[in-house]
A and B are shown apart, each in its own frame.
Chain A
Amino acid sequence: MSQMKPVLEMQDLSVTLPSGLDRTHAVEDVSLTIRRGEILCVVGESGSGKSVTASVVMGLLPRNSLNVAKGTVMLEGEDITSAPEQRMDQLRGNRMAMIFQEPLTALNPVMALGRQIAEVLVLHKPGLGKAAIRSRVLELMADVHLPAPEEMYHRYPHQISGGQRQRVMIAMALAMEPALIIADEPTTALDVTTQAQILKLFRELLTKHDSAVMLITHDFGVVAEIADQVLVMRRGKLVESGTAQDVLQSPRHDYTKELIAAVPRLRYLPQLAEREPVLKAENVSLTYRQSSWLGKTTEVHAVQDVSFTLAPGETLGIVGESGSGKSTLARMVVGFEKPDRGRILFEGQDMPGLTPARLRQMRHRIQMIFQDPYSSLNPRRRVGQSMIEGPVRMGKSNAEAHRCACELLELVGLQPSAVDRFPHEFSGGQRQRICIARALALEPDVIVADEAVSALDVTVQAQVLDLFEKLRTELGFAMLFITHDLRVASNICNRVAVMSKGRIVEQGELKRVFENPENEYTRKLLAAMPGVSEM
């Protein structure tokens, strides 16, 4: 396909950063070419300049802080490096479109979904009648496999799932059949099956609409799955580029090798010997009821009839798609929600049945680590303050708690001096280490980790997983590890429970479940893992 004419050509692009940062350029001397029918994957960790590169093409660099210093960008032969805003408004959404990373926040929350897609047509095909626009929008919604388009048309973003929102974004991007689609980490926040469907969709659309795709990702699993060409970036510079096959099979640069090695591979930990469980869930169910406008009540069966046991020192993985009830289950285990039916036994005591006073005494023994290390630490409190608050409440002296905090920080691989610093001074991976140390400060018997590594870059993810493993052998806590990523689960769990639509459909030893899945849904999840077969 390389004989086809290029859709996008970028020559020696440099973008300057405001002064006073650790480097002078966000992007330095980057050149790339994408042809029709091709998917170019731009790979790199956060801060590598890959998103800035995409913003330059779209002409959406944040005003006043980043500036194009040199280089040219040609879209279908037209130099758009310094095209006037009006021309860019004509091209954006029309000849080039962008799909953003955050499906949860990238849609206008107060505009109906159908209207958001229709807007692209209103802007770029002014002559089109209302009925024609509507039927085209419905067609697009069907193209991206959104269920019940007629009904979906009038719904709002908060009423649909993350995966569905991402499909709405894609429908918007496809509306004008643009020559170039830029997708910035379109699948990172999505669960495996949705991710696989969306990647398949890209391929399908590429052939159908004869366009080109620039896909930004940090996951070499995704690259192996879909890329024709690969470009690796690090700290704003181009490290390596070539065909996907060449780069994956014989990476020349050390950094590329590191990235490829960091993709979690399947690895099976042994099942532990049978022991008296520390945590036991018996037929737990929770139904959310929501009443709307005219008092109509809808019921969501978030968790239904779930049972599991967790032995001391063991890690049980809970895997499943978004909306499968994993997080609700976690919230019940730590006591944020009460189950409608069933019991959650901690050392033989029914937790939801305890008096508030007794519960307060137990609570510290089950600790939670959250997905987003950026928002789960109080930004105005020093790390030390966040860490000693719990232990001091549980009766430790200030000095003692402080000493423990320093030790724990060292244990998770940070400097003890971190106690006096604020969360914003740390990177995402470091913050997640702080969150782990904070949870450990209460000397818990059980840790519930809800998507604790999902927001991290692959290399950082690997480090944090290693840390979990090390801490578990040293401290011996049991862990409920919730994740949508089966590759991650295989690296840390002894046993795994697969959840779908609020129920556990299969559970057992990891190796058995992964190699001989008994349930249809488990097979589907396993088949959807990106890049496992190719790498």
Chain B
Amino acid sequence: MLVTGAARQLGGRFVRRVQRDPGVDRVIAVDAVTPEHRLGDAVFVRADIRRPAIARVLAEHSVDTVVHLDVSGKSLGAGGRTTVKETNVIGTMQLLGACQKSPTLQRFVVKSSTSVYGSAPRDPAVFTETTPPKSLPSGGFAKDAVEVEGYVRGFARRRPDVAVCVLRFANILGPEPDSPLADYLALPVLPTVLGYDPRLQFVHEDDVVDVLEIAAREPRRATLNSGTFNIAGDGVLLLSQCSRRLGRPTVPVLLPAVTWVGAALRAVGMTDFSPEQIRLLTHGRVVSTAQMRETLGFRPRYTTAETFAEFARGRGPGLLPPERMGRAVGRLAELPLPGGAVRGGGGAAHSTDGAR
């Protein structure tokens, strides 16, 4: 089994996990940079998937399964958007080219994103795997993901003997945030788009590793693990709920001014506010996970709310922690009211001696 993007947190976790699978003889971890975390017994090959050398790696180890995780929105270490885009798109092309020549390959899994659906006001509220996007993403990571999926589809057509699985993940949150959205949520004050409250879905990193393992193995009975699947936790959170649960105040910004704020934040290096990111934070995006449950046979352990709670625990309290806000409401309850009655916090125990 060959895993790309092993230097990333998620790749590293998957490599370590999949070694324990008895059906996997050897794991070859590939990335352009040496990972900081340990990879267990996996063979690390430092190779850039943008170079044809990757074909040699595939042939040398007679790889039967490729898990392509090196599609992501954020660069690892140095390198800007161009490097990321090249790794995403050119890297995928090279890798697929190598895979096409490989006679031993049986399975190809690629990590994609639900951002391929874009987000627009004219979209249906819930995307299924077959919903065509109303407006294709114009740039950024979403466009990369669309292009990557296009190449993967082409590959699936040319190599019908290879089982191809495209996993479209909702926003991945884990203990180690590695996405533009996680960076955004880490801001002390969250700029939001005035008059919009997007619906967001999250998926926990543990669930991501689990589902990747399911996709990289032989399918279990009565399930099918080739095709395209949306992967997201159950339930939906609004951005306003997220900010309140994180305890971070929001600053609503008029839509035309949002791009300026985004540019300003990017300039000071705080976060990457790409246009598609802003679109997500304007209109939100919710996907249907019926296929994931019924066809792939995967049930996520964390709901969207639980994933977010884990994430919030890891981030520490914000400026307005929910507990303090709750206590503030409790104090409000203790204020003497015009009626003369005095009420205890929580409203459960009220004093009965007020009138006498």
Do A and B come from the same complex?
no
Residues of B near any A CB (own CB < 8 A): none
